Chain A
């Protein structure tokens, strides 16, 4: 469907305006200007922040530079979450642009993983894809792929090439028609106000009775708090790619169209802002 293709396109080309500012604690030779950038929602921070790094390196002495990490309002940003998820989880409903503080010192080893090179990201990305395919097709599709096909997926993401990526990702989104969907939907529900990292369980796209499961069904099963009972005020926003899909939306369709490149449906449940 043309609409579906447009949705895929919109999801892929989603951008977040970001303002990078240097942590004032950093030792600089002179004042560091903030750096503005449109970050792709589906990508990962270290993949797209080379320019930021360069920009701030100019004002710093080389010996003061350690591994760069980002922080938003005191929360270290995990690079292995897609950028869109980070934004939706921490900064939705705030004033744009998204202001991220850049650190070059005192890496928070407890909260963050080190990321010395892009190959680490690639490994993480590919393992996510494999995990998702294990849920969807018992890993059959991804195992049938060749090394270069894997590389094509990764290069598509790395170079922001929509067509290159989807030419291969299409295979991962196929399913036998008689089953009406994947075996399980690969999803993760992130909660802003929880110590738990995310909820990830097995959930079929079709109920045993043959009804298609919707987003509402999923939330009822996994995170009932996110739902609003009749007469109650809405407490949680359920964001996927920065939007709130209707709860009646079929889960299978969401998985096919609103998944991140790592083939997971990242759902953020955040409390409704109270002005």
Chain B
């Protein structure tokens, strides 16, 4: 222990000593001076107060009982009597008051009873109301549960809707993707085909160029050779067949015409369309030579994609071409070359067939988009769109009746349309996919995929005649006198 700590401790002990001393002394002082006398003094004070009280009482009595004179007594008596009288009067008065009060009390009791009865009535109604409240509450609860259920169902339905929407989106995306793929595939295939086609064509051209065409001198032409009207026709048919062949082989972008026979005819007319020449030549009935056209007179890159249909107008020197690039182009044929005149668009798919009307002002086209379209030459948008077929429309022709057209479709029907109303007038189930149509005055002739040529009566809507062909009929045409029919079949025969 260090001395500092010791001194501190001694200091503390000293502190406790003097402090303890003081506390002890104070306690002792209180005991001797306070506690001992506390009760004593209290009791003394009480006693003093009591004695004072008794003293006062004692001191008062002798003064009250002191000798009083008789007169004062009498006076007192009189006064007392007076007060008695007053008191009696007061009693009577008070009794009266009591009676009136009783009346009031009774009245009040009656009212009280009345109020009580009313109260019970009110209580009853209250109970009834409470019952009703409970009932309503129960109903409310059931409604609430129903509502909750409905809410739950709605939520469920909404979630399902959302799911469906998501699915739909997915499907849409998938579809888009597929379509894109399909388009890409188609493009590549087309390209491949076109390349192959071009190759063959080139080869053909080469062969054609190599094989020297033996053209007779124009001076000997008009009088010699056969005069069959069929020849010219044959020319055209063969040309068309070639066109068809082009189409079936996914035509190239070059449009080639073989006009060798033109040299057989009048030189002045060279360069005019074949149809025009035929029309003018036919009445003459002279055709000097008939030959399969072997040389392209004019080669033109006309369309962006394959050409499906080609047609001359009846009267004027116009040529219409329709292709898979969805447009129809009208060309003016002049001096053996084609100049572009107008483009008709409106079809949403490729064109399968084109025809001029007898006036040469309207063009009818059949389209892959299951419709047939009618243009006027001076308007590039279609005037009428005939819809109704369920597959692609393969053929569309004007009938001999004005404002009437007939269409054949892959959906195995042939339909008759009224152009005024732009509506289907008649529909014939042909039984097979119709590839081409021609119209005479009284009948419609259709070539079919099942190697049959059917002749229809447009008024009776019935098959008049059924002619068998050797193969699938791909194309038909009628001679100008409408008595002879030319058909083109898949067995490579005319």
**B16 to A, closest residue via Cβ:** A3
Most buried by B among A3, A6, A17, A253: A17
Q: How far is the CA of A15 from the CA of B34 in the complex (A)?
A: 5
Nearest Cβ on chain B to A275's Cβ, whole angstroms? 18
B22 close to A (CB within 8 Å): yes
Q: How far is the CB of A71 from chain B (nearest CB, A)?
A: 21
Where chain B touches its partner, the secondary structure class is helix
Tally inter-chain residue pairs, CB-CB below 8 A.
83
B contact residues around A248 at 8 Å (CB)? 14, 17-18
Interface residues of A in 45-90 (CB under 8 A from B): 55, 58
B141 contacts A by Cβ under 8 Å: no
Q: Given B25, B40, B51, which contacts A243 in the complex, CB threshold below 8 Å?
A: B25
- A7 sits at the interface (CB 8 A): yes
The stretch from A32-40, A107-115, A201-209, A221-229 touching chain B is A32-40
Q: Does A126 contact B (CB under 8 A)?
A: no
Q: Which of B23-64 contact A (CB under 8 A)?
A: 23, 25-30, 32-34, 36-38, 40-41, 44-45, 48, 51-52
Closest 5 CB pairs of A and B: A17-B37, A243-B25, A249-B18, A10-B26, A15-B34
Q: Kindly state the interface size class of chain B when it binds its partner.
A: 20 to 34
Query: Interface SS of chain A: helix, strand, loop or mixed?
Result: mixed
Apart from the given pairs A33-B51, A253-B19, 16 other A-B contacts in the complex at a CB distance below 8 Å: A3-B19, A14-B26, A14-B34, A15-B34, A16-B33, A17-B36, A17-B38, A17-B40, A17-B41, A36-B41, A36-B44, A96-B32, A96-B33, A246-B17, A248-B14, A248-B18
Can you name 19 A-B pairs with beta carbons within 8 Å? Answer: A7-B22, A13-B30, A14-B29, A17-B33, A17-B40, A33-B51, A35-B45, A38-B38, A96-B36, A97-B41, A243-B22, A243-B25, A243-B26, A243-B28, A245-B25, A246-B17, A246-B21, A249-B18, A253-B19
Chain A residue nearest to B43 in the complex (CB): A36
**Are the CB atoms of B23 and A242 closer together than 8 Å?**
no
The chain A residue with its CB closest to the CB of B51 is A33
Shortest Cβ gap from A156 to chain B (Å): 20
- Cα distance A10–B226 when bound, in Å? 165
Report A-chain residues with C-beta under 8 Å of the C-beta of B19.
Answer: 3, 7, 249, 253
Query: For residue A247, which residue of chain B has the nearest CB?
Result: B18
Known: A33-B51, A36-B45, A246-B21. A96 touches B37 (CB 8 A): yes
Q: Contact: B26 with A11, CB < 8 Å?
A: yes
Q: Is residue A241 within 8 Å, beta carbon to beta carbon, of the partner chain?
A: yes
Complex Cα gap A15–B36 (Å): 11
Q: Does A258 contact B (CB under 8 A)?
A: yes
Which A231-270 residues have a C-beta within 8 angstroms of B? 241-246, 248-250, 253, 258
Docked complex Cα distance between A11 and B22 (Å): 11
Q: In the assembled complex, how far is the CB of residue A242 from the closest CB belonging to chain B, in whole angstroms? A: 5
Chain A contacts of B45 at CB under 8 A?
35-36
Cα distance A249–B21 in the bound complex, in angstroms: 10
Given the known inter-chain contacts A36-B41, A38-B38, A96-B37, please indicate yes or no for A14 contacting B30, CB distance below 8 A.
Answer: yes
* Residues of A with C-beta under 8 A to B21: 245-246, 249
Tally of contact residues, A, Cβ under 8 A? 30
A132 to chain B, nearest CB (A): 21
Residue of B whose beta carbon sits closest to that of A58 = B52
- In the complex the two chains form, what is the Cα distance from A11 to B18 in whole Å? 16
Interface core residue of B33, B36, B38, B52 (most chain A CB under 10 Å): B33
Residue in chain B with minimal CB distance to A254: B22
Contact between chains at A35 and B18 (CB < 8 Å): no
Interfacial chain A residues near B22, Cβ < 8 Å: 7, 243, 245-246, 249, 258
Q: How far is the CA of A11 from the CA of B29 in the complex (A)?
A: 10
Q: How far is the CA of A33 from the CA of B53 in the complex (A)?
A: 14
CB < 8 Å neighbour of B29 from A6, A36, A97, A241: A241
CB distance from A87 to the nearest CB of B (A): 9
Docked pose: A35 CA to B41 CA in angstroms: 9
Known: A16-B33, A96-B33. A244 touches B25 (CB 8 A): yes
Chain B residues with CB below 8 A from A249, complex form: 18-19, 21-22
With A3-B19, A17-B34, A243-B22 as given contacts, are A10 and B27 in contact (CB-CB < 8 Å)?
Answer: yes
Indicate if the CB atoms of B41 and A6 lie closer than 8 Å.
Answer: no
The answer to whether A6 touches B23 (Cβ under 8 A) is yes
Decide: A242 and B29 in contact? CB cutoff 8 A. yes
Chain A hits for B29, CB < 8 A: 14, 241-243
Q: Which residues of A contact B40 (CB under 8 A)?
A: 17, 36
* Docked complex Cα distance between A248 and B491 (Å): 151
Minimum C-beta distance from B59 to chain A (A) = 10
